[in-house]
């Protein structure tokens, strides 16, 4: 069984703590016994490469992705093969409104290296909604072989349930993510259509204290993207 946390923010997300650096994230994953993690900053993949590099050296498998905000203000996790991260970023950049970030209000948006040196400062506010619907977002993610996972569906804001109240007909979600406080039996009782889906738990970590204790077990041989896709397809998941 593989232990995984597929929703982690870094210092690049404006709401991410200054301590959520690539080195810290990989070391905390090792300390907590996580085999597989995913970097999912708000509307950006630009910090993934450095975390992947450090993870390879330290024996932690790191997936590339982003937490995308759709036109409906629904948060969805996009996970892609490492080779597809550039295509995902280009697509995001094409539809992200060019609203300047206000660092004093929203926080800094930094890409840093292992030594915590700043490589890039993102000037565009990353928490805006893309000019793409949830259906268009799902279609694109799947077109590049990615995984489409609506995030924290039980939360009262920016979730599939809070914004839409249902899964749009034809939407192909690979899984639905639950927050750490989710009451799955209660959710299924209230929304019977949820029982058709595969679920996973992720930390949605923005701060060090959030990270390491919330995860999902996957019945897979190796902690990598292709095996993860197979596990979600066949519901080889244990919460």
Q: What percent of the chain has pLDDT over 70?
A: 100
- pTM higher than 0.85: yes
CA angle 200, 142, 12 (to 5 degrees): 65
For the stretch 6-61, pLDDT in tens is 999 999 999 999 999 999 999 999 999 999 999 999 999 999 999 999 999 999 99
**CATH number (domain holding residue 171):** 3.20.20.140
Q: How far apart are CA 112 and CA 114, in angstroms?
A: 7
Task: Supply the pLDDT for residue 194.
Answer: 79
* Beta-bridge partners for 77: 67, 149
Instruction: Label residue 158 left, alpha or beta by phi (over 0 means left) and psi (-120 to 50 means alpha).
Output: left
Residue 9, both tokens: 């923010």
Range of the domain at 168: 2-238
List, in sequence order, every residue forming a beta bridge with 78; answer none if it has no partner.
66, 148
Instruction: For residue 161, name the pLDDT band (cuts at 50, 70, 90).
Output: confident
pLDDT of residue 159: 86
Q: What is the SS3 string spanning the chain?
A: CEEEEEEECCCCCCCCCCCCCHHHHHHHHHHCCCCEEEECEECECCCHHHHHHHHHHHCCEEEEEEEEECCCCCEEEEEECHHHHHHHHHHHHHHCCCCECCHHHHCCCEEECCCCCEEEECCECCCCCCCCCHHHHHHHHHHCCCEEEECCCCCCCCCHHHHCCCCCCCCCCCCEEECCCCCHHHHHHHCHHHHHCCEEECCCECCHHHCCCCCEEECCCCCCHHHHHHHHHCCCEEC
Answer whether residue 87 shows pLDDT above 80.
yes
Cβ contact 89:64 at 8 Å? no
pLDDT of residue 101: 98
**Confidence grade of residue 201 (pLDDT, cut at 50, 70, 90):** very high
Taken in order 206, 111, 153, 196, the sign of the CA dihedral is: negative
Average pLDDT, the chain: 94
Query: Residues 57-74: pLDDT tens digits?
Result: 999 999 999 999 999 999
Give the mean model confidence (pLDDT) for residues 94-101: 98
Q: How many domains does the chain have?
A: 1
Which tokens go with 36?
A: 């597989």
Residue 238 has pLDDT above 90, yes or no: no
What is the rounded average pLDDT of the residues 94-123? 97
User: Could you tell me the pLDDT band of residue 162, with boundaries at 50, 70 and 90?
Assistant: confident
- With b meaning 16 or more CB within 10 Å and e meaning fewer, what string describes 48-70? bbbbbebbeeeebbbbbbbbbbb
Q: Give which of 4, 12, 132 is closest to 66, Cα–Cα.
A: 12
Cβ contact 65:39 at 8 Å: yes
What is residue 186's predicted lDDT score, i.e. its pLDDT? Answer: 83
């Amino acid at each position: 069984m593989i232990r995984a946390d597929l929703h982690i923010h870094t210092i690049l997300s404006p709401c991410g703590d200054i301590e959520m650096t690539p080195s810290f994230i990989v070391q905390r994953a090792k300390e907590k016994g996580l085999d597989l993690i995913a970097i999912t900053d708000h509307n950006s993949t630009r910090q993934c490469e450095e975390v992947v590099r450090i993870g390879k050296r330290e024996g932690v498998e790191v997936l590339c992705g982003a937490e995308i905000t759709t036109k409906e203000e629904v948060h969805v996790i996009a996970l892609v093969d490492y080779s597809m991260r550039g295509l995902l970023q280009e697509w995001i950049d094409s539809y992200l409104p060019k609203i300047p970030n206000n660092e004093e209000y929203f926080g800094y948006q930094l890409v840093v290296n292992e030594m915590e040196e700043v490589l890039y400062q993102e000037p565009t506010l990353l928490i805006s909604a893309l000019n793409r619907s949830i259906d268009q977002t799902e279609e694109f993610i799947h077109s590049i072989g990615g995984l489409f996972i609506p995030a924290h569906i039980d939360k009262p804001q920016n979730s599939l349930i809070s914004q839409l109240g249902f899964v749009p007909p034809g939407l192909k979600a690979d899984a639905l993510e639950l927050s750490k406080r989710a009451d799955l039996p209660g959710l299924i009782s209230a929304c019977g259509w949820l029982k058709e889906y595969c679920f996973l738990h992720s930390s949605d970590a923005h701060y060090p204290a959030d990270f390491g204790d919330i995860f999902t077990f996957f019945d897979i041989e190796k902690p990598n993207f292709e095996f993860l896709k197979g596990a979600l397809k066949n519901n080889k998941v244990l919460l």
